[in-house]
Amino acid sequence: MKLVFLGPPGAGKGTAAQVLSKALDVKHISTGDMFRAAITNETPTGLKAKAFMDQGALVPDFIVIEMVEERLQADDCRNGYLLDGFPRTVDQAVALEKIAPPDFVVNLHVDDHFLIKRLTGRRVCPKCKGTFHITRLADEKTCPDCRGELIHREDDREETIAKRLAVYHNETSPLIDYYRQEGKLRTVDGEGTPDQVLELIDQALGLNA
Ligand code: AMP
C-alpha cells in the first residue's frame, strides 16, 4: 500500500500516520521529521533546510524531491509507504508519480481557526515522536509515554503559524484538485479525536470492510 497524507499543518497527519503505518505494516515517512533530524545532525541537507523551516517557508523542491527519492529506494519501503508532509507542491506530486505513485491520498480537512488552537498548544516528543496538546498534559515538559522532554517546535509559534497556513493554501491545497482528478483523493474530517479520525480514515480507505 502506498499512501499520502495531505492536509494543513496541525491537521493530525503525523498522529494518524503513526498508528496507521503500524497497522498496515508500511513505513511512515515524514519529511518534516527527516529535516529536523538532518538539522540536529548538522548534515548538508539540514543546513540548507533550516532557514526555510524557521521562517515557515517550504524547503525548495529539488532538495525535498532528492531526499524522498533516495528514502523510498531503501529496503524498508518494499511494502509501500505512508508519506506525511510530502508532496506539498504540484511539482513534488509530479515527481512522486515518477518515483512511486501513491494508491490513495487521504486529505485531512480542518478549518484554520481550529489549526491555530492546535498548533499553538502542540508539544512534541523528539524521542518517541509523540504529539500532545497542552490541555491534555499534566506536565507540559514531560512526555507521558516515554518520559522524554517535550518541546514546543520553533515553527509552532504564533508568528510562524500564519505564514505556514498561507503557504499551505497557496502551494499545497492545489494538490486536492490534482489528486481528485487522478481519482485518488479520499477527504476525511480531521477535527475529531485521534480515534474518530482514524475510524474515518479506515472507512474512507475501505480498511474495515
Ligand atoms: P512538518 O513537520 O511536516 O510540518 O514540516 C516542517 C517544515 O519542514 C515545513 O514547514 C517545511 O519548511 C519543511 N518541509 C517538510 N516537508 C516539506 C516538503 N514536502 N516540501 C517543502 N518543505 C517541507
The CA distance from 4 to 6, in Å, is 6
Q: What is the pLDDT of residue 209?
A: 59
Q: What is the pLDDT of residue 111?
A: 95
Q: What is the pLDDT of residue 208?
A: 74
Q: What is the pLDDT of residue 63?
A: 97
Return left, alpha or beta for 56; rule: phi > 0 is left, psi -120 to 50 is alpha, else beta: left
Q: Can you tell me which atom of ligand 1 is nearest the CA of 55?
A: 12
CB atoms within 10 A of CB 186: 18
Ligand 1 pocket list (CB less than 6 A): 9, 31-32, 35, 52-53, 56-59, 64, 85-86, 88, 92, 155, 164
CB 119 within 8 A of CB 165: no
Residue nearest atom 2 in ligand 1 by C-alpha distance: 32
Q: Can you tell me which atom of ligand 1 is nearest the CA of 13?
A: 3
CB 68 within 8 A of CB 74: no
Report the separation in Å between the CA atom of 85 and the middle of ligand 1, taken as the mean of its atom positions: 6
pLDDT > 80? residue 201: yes
The CA distance from 158 to 188, in Å, is 26
Which one-letter amino acid corresponds to residue 109?
H
- The bridge status of strand 131-133 relative to strand 122-124 is antiparallel
Q: pLDDT tier at 158 (50, 70, 90 boundaries)?
A: confident
pLDDT tens, position by position, 62-72: 999 999 999 99
**Which range in 11-15, 75-79, 157-161, 176-180 is most confidently predicted, on average pLDDT?**
176-180
CB atoms within 10 A of CB 152: 16
Q: Can you tell me which atom of ligand 1 is nearest the CA of 53?
A: 12
Q: What is the pLDDT of residue 164?
A: 93
